[in-house]
Structure formats: structure tokens, C-alpha cells
């Protein structure tokens, strides 16, 4: 079904600035603005994002080759299109660039999580974001006359598009600083020496070598792409042709931050809060549907499940934090805390789980706390008990689901590597000294 949908998109919707050719499981994605050395503008950016998002979930695509038309890969950003922004107000320019950079980063994230190998086939000029695309690819082959440059310093800007993350990890911190601050050009052999490309071939052999590499890769179909996680009832969807969904109590705090993070990953979101006014900051975002929902109301939860349908990710984070030791905790506080922090979570899972199982599964994330069965804290009697119950509920349900899915295997290296990549990133800065288990629920 997805393969047919993808071919229909190629025929009718895909911008001329990005072209897709398919042959024997190989998708060749061509950046098609040869008159400007395939320089990046908003149209090319959106078209490339749509193409990658569609191919990511296409079971018929085994390998993706990214290349440029007209003898060049990508010379960087289109300065002429940027010059047009002078006509805008400062606030309008800032809004435009923030949106543009958001799409650029989504392109890189999709490239890095694709189940298919991505091969960059490089000729001619490669600069700016073009270099980011090369660094994000799994393999890179280039013509001997190719020229590379960071380029950003030449127009008075700092590097972006993920190059400041990839480059130090590829060439080393000192060399990355040199390339970024001086903006020197370097050739194909230097790119090979630095580890930016895998192989250099004569220009007339580039096409032959690019076609030869996919033939040497294993012919097994790509593994299913894991869907990024979500909030208390989100629907997550990378743009174009996927159907991943997520949902959350997202008006403030962790819920709001998580909704924004999923949106930045290209997810389609259903965000809920008991006070819809608190969702105003999310309502303006593309792909976000906001609803008022009291998760303590069984009828309202059932109606929301009927409206939203099957989710790929359910993130439960509604909750309250009452103070007081046991003798200070009034019965009403106890009952209200358990009702919102635990019973509502049970209610949400029970309402959304059948549709998730019917579509083949999904992810459920329940927000607990270190103040729980993990650690006691003074004056948190009801809260700590409720969060310990959340952990127990989650483990019990995970054990039930693991029996149904029957993993029956060891964790794959890529599953371990994904956690390692997170732990090595800035996002994991507050995670330390923990034993993180990846065992497909074997230990439950």
C-alpha cells in the first residue's frame, strides 16, 4: 500500500526540485536545481523532507542514493532567496529562518533514522548544508574533482544544519574548528583522508561506482522504523505518507516540552489538557490538534479515543503533586491524587490500547517520578504512592504485552546503539549513574 502511495505521490505531488527514480529496490533522489548548483531554498527544503519522509517507511525501498543534478551535489544555501528576506521585518525574518532551520534539521533526523542505507553520490561543489547531507549519509562516494567547503563564515554566519555536531565527530575537534572558522576549500582526496567520504573515483566512473555499491549490500528488506515516542494521547506522523500518531496532556511543563519535541521530529500531534487555554502555545503549530480533555472523565476519554483513533504513541503525563506526610494527607487529597495520577492513566491505556493492537502495536509512555518505589521523599505521601503505582501498572502491562508479542531474541546492536547515541548527546545530560535495561521485557 505504501509503495503504491509513494509512486502516486511521485507522479502527482513531488516538486520538480526533487526527483525520485526507482529501480530494483533502489531509490535515487536527485536535487534538481542545476542552474544554481542545487542551492537550498525553502521549496527544495520542503520537497526533500517530503521525499525522505515518504521513502523512510516504504517497504519496497532497500537503498537510497542522494545526488545532485548538473554535475554538482549542493553548493549550500541559495543566497538570492535569502536576499529577498531583506524586504521583511526583523520579526518576520526571524520567524522565516526559524521555520527554515526546523525543516533542515528534520531532514537530517530522518536521514539518520532511516532503516535503509543512505549513499551520497558527490560531484562538483559541496558546501554548507550540502556538506551536512554528506556527513549524515551512511556512505559517500565522490568524484575526484569534487570541492568541499563549510562556507558559512564567508557570509558571516555560524555553521548550522547539524554540521557542528557531525564534523567534530568525523574529523576531530581542532580540524572541525579550522574548517568552520576559516572556511577553506578542500578537495576529494582530503575529504577521503578526513573520513568525510568513503571513496574517491574518477568523474567518469562516479555513476558506475554509485550503482555498484547498492548491489553489494545485503538484500534483506529494511527493518521496520521505530516511531519516536509521544505524550498523553499524541498522534505522531512524519510528513507526507505515514500514519504515526501521538497524544498528550501538553499545556505546560513536561507535556508541553514533549509535544514541542515531537513536533520538531515531524510528528502529527493530538495535545490535550483540562484547560484548553493552556494549549494556545501549541495550537499555532502545523500538525498539532488541541483538545480540552479531563482524563478523570471516563466518557470524555472514550469519546477522545473514538475521535483520534489508532495511535502509534500514547504519552500519559497528567498529574498533580500534593504535599504532606501520611497524617497530613486528607482522604480527599489521597483519592484525587490516585484518581488523576493512576486511575486516569489506566483509563487512557484501556481506551486507546485496542486500536493500537489492531494496527500492529505502538508505544505507551507513562510519566512516573523518582519519588516513587525508586526513592522516598518527605511530605510526598500520596504523590509517591501514586507514582509507585504507575511503575507497577507499567511493568504489569508491559509483561502482558511482551508475552503477546513473544520477542524471543536478543537485543540487536542497533537497538543498543540508539540508546548509546542518546546517552552521548546533550539531551541526556541529566541522566547519570543509572542501569538502563534493554531486554524486550525479558526481566519483567
**Backbone phi and psi for residue 207, each to the nearest 5 degrees, phi listed first:** -65, -40
Residue 339 falls within a domain, yes or no?
yes
Residue 58 falls within a domain, yes or no?
yes
- 324-355: pLDDT as tens digits: 888 888 888 899 999 999 999 999 999 999 99
Say yes or no to pLDDT of 236 above 70. no
Residue 423 falls within a domain, yes or no?
yes
**Backbone phi and psi for residue 395, each to the nearest 5 degrees, phi listed first:** -65, -40
Mean pLDDT for 133-151 is 94
- The pLDDT assigned to 38 comes to 93
- 383-438: pLDDT as tens digits: 999 999 999 998 888 887 765 554 566 777 877 888 888 788 877 888 887 888 87
Identify how many contiguous H helices and E strands the chain contains and give both numbers. Answer: 16, 14
Domain hosting residue 417, numbered range? 409-444
- What's the CA gap between 192 and 8, in Å, rounded? 38
Residues 174 and 283 in one domain: no
Tell me, what CATH number does 260's domain have? 3.40.50.720
Residues 293 and 400 in one domain: yes
- The pLDDT assigned to 298 comes to 93
Residues 413 and 340 in one domain: no
Residues 196 and 294 in one domain: no
Residue 237 falls within a domain, yes or no?
no
Say yes or no to pLDDT of 246 above 80. no
- Percentages helix, strand, coil for the chain, rounded to the nearest 5? 50, 15, 35
Residues 61 and 163 in one domain: yes
- The pLDDT assigned to 440 comes to 76
In degrees, rounded to 5, the angle at the alpha carbon of residue 201 between the alpha carbons of residues 196 and 206 is 100
- The pLDDT assigned to 244 comes to 41
Residue 162 falls within a domain, yes or no?
yes
Mean pLDDT of the residues in the chain = 82
- What's the CA gap between 86 and 80, in Å, rounded? 11
173-177, 219-223, 412-416 — which is least confidently predicted? 219-223
Residues 284 and 369 in one domain: yes
Give the helix/strand (H/E) hosting 412: none
DSSP state of 25: T
Mean pLDDT for 115-141 is 94
Residue recorded with cell 505502538:
362
Tell me, what CATH number does 128's domain have? 3.90.226.10
Contact (Cβ atoms closer than 8 angstroms) between residue 300 and residue 347:
no
Residue 230 falls within a domain, yes or no?
no
Which residue(s) pair with 116 in the sheet?
Answer: none
Residues 330 and 434 in one domain: no
Which residue(s) pair with 268 in the sheet?
Answer: 245
Residues 40 and 60 in one domain: yes
Q: What percent of the chain has pLDDT over 90?
A: 37
Say yes or no to pLDDT of 143 above 80. yes
- What's the CA gap between 225 and 188, in Å, rounded? 33
3-state secondary structure of 360: coil
- 348-382: pLDDT as tens digits: 999 999 998 888 788 899 999 988 888 888 888 99
Residue 158 falls within a domain, yes or no?
yes
Q: Specify the number of domains making up the chain.
A: 3
Name the nearest CA neighbour of 255 among 332, 186, 169, 316: 316
Residues 401 and 442 in one domain: no
- The pLDDT assigned to 6 comes to 39
Burial of 174 (0-12, 13-18, 19+ CB in 10 A): exposed
Contact (Cβ atoms closer than 8 angstroms) between residue 221 and residue 290:
no
Residues 194 and 293 in one domain: no
Residues 286 and 306 in one domain: yes
Residue 284 falls within a domain, yes or no?
yes
Residues labelled as active-site residues: 383
In order of 29, 60, 133, 298, the CA distances from 70 in angstroms are: 14, 28, 18, 60
- 263-287: pLDDT as tens digits: 887 788 899 998 888 888 888 888 8
Tell me the CA end-to-end span of the chain in Å, nearest whole number. Answer: 36
- What's the CA gap between 256 and 268, in Å, rounded? 14
Residues 398 and 414 in one domain: no
- 9-56: pLDDT as tens digits: 443 344 589 999 998 899 999 999 999 999 988 899 999 999 998 998
Amino acid at each position: 500500500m505504501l509503495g503504491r502511495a509513494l509512486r502516486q505521490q511521485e507522479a502527482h505531488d513531488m516538486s520538480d526540485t526533487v526527483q525520485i527514480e526507482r529501480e530494483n529496490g533502489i531509490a535515487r533522489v536527485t536535487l534538481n536545481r542545476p542552474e544554481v548548483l542545487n542551492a537550498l531554498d525553502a521549496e527544495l527544503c520542503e520537497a526533500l523532507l517530503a521525499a525522505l519522509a515518504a521513502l523512510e517507511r516504504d517497504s519496497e525501498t532497500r537503498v537510497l542514493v542522494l545526488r545532485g543534478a548538473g554535475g554538482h551535489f549542493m553548493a549550500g544555501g541559495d543566497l538570492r532567496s535569502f536576499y529577498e528576506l531583506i524586504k521583511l521585518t526583523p520579526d518576520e525574518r526571524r520567524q522565516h529562518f526559524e521555520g527554515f532551520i526546523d525543516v533542515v534539521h528534520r531532514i537530517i533526523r530522518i536521514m539518520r533514522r532511516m532503516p535503509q542505507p543512505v549513499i551520497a553520490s558527490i560531484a562538483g561543489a559541496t558546501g554548507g548544508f550540502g556538506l551536512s547531507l554528506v556527513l549524515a549519509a551512511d556512505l559517500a562516494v565522490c568524484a575526484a574533482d569534487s570541492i568541499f567547503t563549510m562556507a558559512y563564515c564567508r557570509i558571516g554566519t555560524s555553521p548550522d544544519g547539524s554540521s557542528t555536531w557531525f564534523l567534530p565527530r568525523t574529523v576531530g575537534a581542532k580540524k572541525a574548528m579550522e574548517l568552520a572558522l576559516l572556511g577553506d576549500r578542500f578537495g576529494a582526496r582530503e575529504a577521503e583522508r578526513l573520513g568525510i567520504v568513503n571513496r574517491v573515483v574518477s568523474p567518469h566512473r562516479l555513476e558506475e561506482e554509485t550503482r555498484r555499491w547498492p548491489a553489494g549490500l545485503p538484500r534483506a528488506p529494511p527493518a521496520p522504523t521505530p516511531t519516536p515516542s509521544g505524550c498523553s494521547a499524541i498522534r505522531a506522523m512524519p510528513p507526507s505518507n505515514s500514519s504515526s500518531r501521538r497524544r498528550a496532556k501538553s499545556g505546560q511543563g513536561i507535556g508541553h516540552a514533549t509535544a514541542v519535541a515531537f513536533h520538531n521530529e515531524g510528528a502529527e500531534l493530538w495535545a490535550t489538557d483540562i484547560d484548553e487555554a493552556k494549549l494556545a502555545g501549541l495550537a499555532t503549530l502545523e500538525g498539532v490538534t488541541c483538545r480540552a480533555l479531563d482524563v478523570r472523565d471516563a466518557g470524555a476519554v472514550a469519546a477522545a479515543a473514538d475521535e483520534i483513533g489508532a495511535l502509534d504513541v500514547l504519552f500519559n503525563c497528567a498529574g498533580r503533586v500534593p504535599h504532606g506526610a501520611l497524617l497530613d494527607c486528607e482522604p480527599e487529597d489521597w483519592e484525587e491524587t490516585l484518581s488523576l495520577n493512576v486511575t486516569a492513566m489506566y483509563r487512557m491505556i484501556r481506551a486507546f490500547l485496542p486500536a493500537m493492537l489492531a494496527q500492529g502495536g505502538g508505544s505507551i509512555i507513562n510519566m512516573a517520578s523518582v519519588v516513587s518505589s525508586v526513592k522516598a521523599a518527605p511530605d510526598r505521601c500520596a504523590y509517591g504512592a501514586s507514582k509507585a503505582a504507575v511503575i507497577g501498572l507499567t511493568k504489569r502491562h508491559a509483561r502482558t504485552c511482551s508475552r503477546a508479542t513473544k520477542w524471543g531474541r536478543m537485543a540487536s546492536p542497533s537497538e543498543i546503539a540508539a540508546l548509546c547515541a542518546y546517552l552521548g548527546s546533550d539531551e541526556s545530560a541529566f541522566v547519570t549513574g543509572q542501569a538502563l535495561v534493554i531486554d524486550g521485557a525479558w526481566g519483567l
